[in-house]
Chain A
C-alpha cells in the first residue's frame, strides 16, 4: 500500500497503480480523452496532466500513466495545471473544432476563441482505437505516417480481412472519428453488422456476452463464441480481467453427456415462419412490415422501444396498422404449409386490442383474414369485444399487393372486398401474422429417433394416444405435436409427463437423496440478538452505497449484536462464515442487506437452517436492485436509503417468530368424477401409476358422449377404440367403478377429502386425496330449423349414429346440407363449440365416400378447422363439397316440403338468397355444459357465465382448479375433440400426481391464523378468500369464529387486510411487523 497526498489529502493506492486510478477511487475528477480502464494507458491526449511535487521540485506529468510512489504530492487543480490543460484543449480544439467532447472540455476551461490555425479533423490521434484493436488480437489498424500526416489506417490503406468488424474501435473513439460506416468503408472487407438480438427478433442488437432476456433461467450471462473477439482473433479477454469472481474461462469445451433414461419427451417447439420467402409482402425490404413476433417485442415494455408503440423506420407513432393473417399457413401455393397454425387469429386480435389500449381509441387496427378462428375458451368473447367494443376492423380479404407509400415509410396496399370491389388503403405499419412450422433440425432429429411425422412435419400421434410418438417410450408435447397455443401446450406437457410416468411409476423416488437435518435451536423467551450482514456485491453495491457506513449504522441499531460487510454475502465461503458467526455470537435473528429476496432469500434461509435457526427468523432487504443499481448518480441518497432500509428490516426481524410448517398426510386414493373418455383416461392413467382410483359415473354405463361418435378427425373408428378402453377400465383392479352414482356431500380438503356417494339410495363415504372433475357436456337440443319435426333433420351426433348403425337411408341420398353454429356463437351462447366444423366436414366426406355423386352443402359462418384439420377442409372442397357462408343476422331458413327440405341461404358472393332442395339437413349443434352448481359448491370451484368450470389459470393452469387437490379435464372445461380430452385427462392426472407422489404436504410458514378471542365471526374472510381457506367453526369453544386451513392458505393476506377486528395474523408479514417497518420509516429524531 502506497500513501501519498492528493490535493492535500492523504490517500492510499496499490503498488503499480497510476495517479488517475487512485484519483478516480477518491472521487477526484481528472479529465482524460485517451484513457480506458481496459487498456494500458498511453498518455496520448495529455489532458490529464497534473502537478507532482517530489519534495524538491514540481513536475507536470500525465496522470494516466504516471505510477504512484510513497510520499509524493499530487495536485490536480492548481492554476498552472489549469493553464496547461487549457492550452492543450485549445490545441485539440483547433484540430477538431466540431467534436462535441472537445467542445465540452473547451467550455469547461473557458476557451472562447481559438488562437491557432483551425483544421477540420475529427481525430485527435489518441490511439484508443489502435490499442484496442491490438488488444482484440486483430491488429487491423495502427497509427500510420508521421508528423502532420499521422493517421489511423489499415496497412496500405486497403480494406483488410484482418478487421473483423467488431466495432471496438468505434465504441471507444472519444471523438466520433471512427464510425461503423467508416469501418465498413475503409477498414474491413467483411460486412459489419450489429449482432441481432434473438429475443428482440433482430429489432435491436446485443453484445457477445449476454443474457438472452431479463427473466432467463438460469439468469447467467453466456459468451457467444461465434461473435466473441477472443474466439475470432485470440485477444481481448477483457471480460476475464473485470470479472470479480473469476467466473470466465475461455478454454471451456463443449461436453457430451450420456444419460440413461426410461422415457424421452420431445418438446422442441416451433420456428416462426420466415416471410422473407414471400417477396410480395416486402418483409426485409420495407422496414415497417414486421412479423407478429417482432410486433410482440415492440409492444413489450422490455422491448426495443421500451413499450412505446412506434414503427421501426422513423420511430413515429403509427395511426393505422394492418394485420395480414395466414402468412405461411393455409397456403400451398407460395409455401408448403397447408395446415392452419391455430394461434394467429387470436394473437392478431390480442395485438390489435393491446395496441389500442396503448395508443388510444384513435388508432385504426385492421385485420385481414380468411376465416376468423377463435375456437378456444373465452376467445369468441374476446373477438366480439375487439370488434364491438374496441372497434378493431375485421376485413375478410387476402391482400395481394404491398407497395411503399410516397412518404417512404407508410405502405400502400390493395385488396378485393367480398363484393368484388378493389380497395386501396395506406397503413403506417403492417404486421404479418406468421405461422408455426417445425424447424429443419427437428425434422432431422425425428428421422434419427425414428419418430414418424405428418404431412405438415409435425409429430404423428393418434387420437387415443395424443402424446405418444410412433416410437415407444418417446413422447411429445407442444407445437411439435401440431400447431397450438399456450393452454394446449401446457396440457400436452403435463400429459406427456403422465404418459412417461405410467411407464416409469415403479422407479418413482428411487433416485432421490435425503438431506441431513440440523436440529433447530429453541429461541423462545430470548431477547432478539440480531446479526446484520451488508453485502458489497463486489462493486455492485459498494460502488455506490457506502457499505462500511451502512454496516456501522446497523451495528448501532437496537438488538443488533453483530454487523459485518461481505464482498459477496452469497458466496459459499461467506455462507460457512455466517453459520459460524450465528453459532458463536448466539444470534437468533438475521438481516441480510444485499440483492433481492426473490432470488436469494431461500439461499440465506438454508444457511439459517444449517446454523440451527428457524428459517423465518430472517429478513432480507434490497440495497442492490432497488438501490445501488438505480441510484448510481446519487451515492449520498442511496446510502441514506440503504440505512433506512436496513433499519426497517432490523425492526421487522426483531418481531419475527419461528414458524412451523404444518405437516399433513396425503391420502393416496383418488377419485375421478365422470365416466366419459376423459374420466376413463384419467382413471386409467392413475391406475397405471399405481394409485387406487374411484371412478364415479352418474349413468349406467361408461363411455359418455363418445358412444355417439363415428370417426375421429384422422379417420379412426371411435367405437372400436372406445370398447377397448371401457374393457381395460373395467378389468383394472385398481379402478373401482361406481355406476349410477352421484355425489351428495364432500368434506375435507387437499390430501384428505371425504366424499359421500349415493347409489340407488345407498350412501357410501370414501376418503381420497385428490379428485378430478371430468363431468363432460351434452349436445344442445335445437328448437330452430324445425328440428324434431321431420326425420330428415338430424343433429351431427344423430348422423354419426346412423353411420355407426350403417343405416341404409344415408346411402340413398341425393343431397345433404350441414348447417353450422346451431346454438353456438349466438348471444345466448356466445362461445364457439370448437368441434363442429371438423365434425361436419368429416361427415360430409364420409357421405361423399359412400356416394360420390351426392351434392353436399355446408352452410357456415367461419370454417374453424384448426391445425392439421385444415387438410379435411381442403379435401372436402376438392371432392366438391360446396361451402356457403351465411351471416348471423341472416341465418338460413328451412321449409319442410313433400319433395324435400328447402333451405334458403344468402350466398356471400352473390349477395342473393338461393334455395337448395335437399334430402338431409344436419345441424351442427353446440356443446352445452351441465352447469352442475351442487358439484361446484362441493369442491369450492367456480364456473364461468357459459357454465364451464373455471380453471386455475387460463394459460398456465388449464387442468387444475385454484382449490388445491381438485383437477379438471375434458368438456367440463371446454368443448374439445377426443385427442385433446385424453391429453387433458392425463394432464389432470399429472398435476394430481405432483401431490399424490408425496407422503405428506407441508403448509408454508407464512400463512394466516385467526385469534378466536378477537374474531367477531363476521365471515368477511370466508367471503373474500380466493382459495376457500377460512371457514366458520361450527362447534366447540370457538363456535361461530373463523379458522383458517393452513394447507389451503396461500399467505396472500387478503383476509388480514379485510378483517376489521384485527383478529387475523399473517405470519411473516404480521401487522406488528409491517407497522414496525412503517414506524422506522424516519429515523428517530
Chain B
C-alpha cells in the first residue's frame, strides 16, 4: 500500500507503519516524535484531501 501510494506521488512521510509492544512506551513516544517531525517538514496534505464544495 505504502509503495503504491508513494509510487503515485504521495510523499513518503505521509504514511507510516510501526510495531510497538505494549511495554515499549519510550519507543512509542520516539515514533510519535519522529513522525510528527517528518510530517511537519512536509506541507499540509493537499494532493489527496478532498476539498469540500463551497456553499455560498
Contacts and interface: CB of A to CB of B under 8 A. Distances in A.
Q: Do chains A and B touch in the complex (CB under 8 A)?
A: yes
Contacts of B27: 301, 307
Contacts of A332: none
Interface string B21-56: 011111101000000000000000000000010000
Interface residues of A, number: 9
A301 B24 contact: yes
A650 B37 CA distance: 30
Interface in A1032-1085: 1085
20 contacts: A214-B23, A214-B25, A215-B22, A215-B23, A300-B23, A301-B23, A301-B24, A301-B25, A301-B26, A301-B27, A302-B23, A302-B24, A302-B25, A302-B26, A306-B26, A307-B24, A307-B26, A307-B27, A630-B29, A1085-B52
Contacts of B52: 1085
A631 B27 CA distance: 17
B44 to A, nearest CB: 11
Interface string A214-243: 110000000000000000000000000000
B2 to A, nearest CB: 15
A59 B21 CA distance: 59
B33 to A, nearest CB: 11
Contacts of B23: 214-215, 300-302
Contacts of A1085: 52
A630 B28 CA distance: 12
A752 B52 CA distance: 53
The 8 closest A-B pairs by CB, nearest first: A301-B24, A301-B26, A306-B26, A301-B27, A307-B26, A302-B23, A301-B23, A302-B25
Nearest to A1084: B52
Contacts of B22: 215
Nearest to A300: B23
Contacts of A300: 23
Interface of A: 214-215, 300-302, 306-307, 630, 1085
A542 to B, nearest CB: 23
A203 to B, nearest CB: 15
Given A301-B24, A307-B24, A630-B29, 17 more contacts: A214-B23, A214-B25, A215-B22, A215-B23, A300-B23, A301-B23, A301-B25, A301-B26, A301-B27, A302-B23, A302-B24, A302-B25, A302-B26, A306-B26, A307-B26, A307-B27, A1085-B52
Nearest to A598: B22
Contacts of A215: 22-23
A876 B2 CA distance: 61
A415 to B, nearest CB: 36
A930 to B, nearest CB: 36
A451 to B, nearest CB: 35
Contacts of A306: 26
A629 to B, nearest CB: 11
A437 to B, nearest CB: 27
A307 B25 CA distance: 10
Contacts of A630: 29
B10 to A, nearest CB: 17
Taking each of B22, B23, B24, B27, which has the highest tally of chain A beta carbons within 10 Å of its own beta carbon? B23
Nearest to B49: A1082
A821 to B, nearest CB: 36
B24 to A, nearest CB: 4
A215 B26 CA distance: 14
A783 to B, nearest CB: 45
Contacts of A302: 23-26
Contacts of A301: 23-27
Contacts of B25: 214, 301-302
A307 B24 CA distance: 9
A300 B22 CA distance: 12
A730 B18 CA distance: 56
Nearest to B28: A301
Nearest to B52: A1085
A300 B26 CA distance: 10
Contacts of B29: 630
B48 to A, nearest CB: 13
Nearest to A625: B25
A300 B25 CA distance: 11
A302 B28 CA distance: 11
Nearest to A308: B26
B26 to A, nearest CB: 5
A214 B24 CA distance: 11
A301 B22 CA distance: 11
Taking each of A214, A301, A306, which has the highest tally of chain B beta carbons within 10 Å of its own beta carbon? A301
A1085 B26 CA distance: 36
A818 B30 CA distance: 56
A359 to B, nearest CB: 15
A301 B27 CA distance: 7
A1054 to B, nearest CB: 15
Contacts of A307: 24, 26-27
Contacts of A214: 23, 25
B52 to A, nearest CB: 7
A301 B29 CA distance: 11
B37 to A, nearest CB: 16
A744 to B, nearest CB: 43
Contacts of B26: 301-302, 306-307
B11 to A, nearest CB: 19
Nearest to A1085: B52
A81 to B, nearest CB: 39
Nearest to B24: A301
Contacts of B24: 301-302, 307
Nearest to B23: A302
B40 to A, nearest CB: 13
Nearest to A306: B26
Taking each of B24, B25, B27, B29, which has the highest tally of chain A beta carbons within 10 Å of its own beta carbon? B25
A908 B23 CA distance: 45
B51 to A, nearest CB: 10
A215 to B, nearest CB: 7
A306 B26 CA distance: 7
A956 to B, nearest CB: 14
A307 B28 CA distance: 12
B22 to A, nearest CB: 8
A1085 B49 CA distance: 14
A307 B52 CA distance: 45
A1085 B53 CA distance: 11
A841 B25 CA distance: 49
A505 B27 CA distance: 47
A342 to B, nearest CB: 25
A124 B22 CA distance: 46
B27 to A, nearest CB: 5
A630 B29 CA distance: 9
Nearest to A303: B26
A1085 B25 CA distance: 35
A86 to B, nearest CB: 38
A215 B27 CA distance: 16
B46 to A, nearest CB: 14
A214 B26 CA distance: 12
B56 to A, nearest CB: 14
A288 B26 CA distance: 24
Nearest to B20: A301
A306 B25 CA distance: 9
A307 B26 CA distance: 8
A731 B9 CA distance: 74
B15 to A, nearest CB: 14
A1032 B36 CA distance: 44
A630 B36 CA distance: 15
A737 B23 CA distance: 48
Nearest to A307: B26
Nearest to A215: B23
A630 B27 CA distance: 14
A214 B52 CA distance: 45
A968 B23 CA distance: 30
A215 B23 CA distance: 8
B49 to A, nearest CB: 9
A922 B24 CA distance: 51
A886 to B, nearest CB: 42
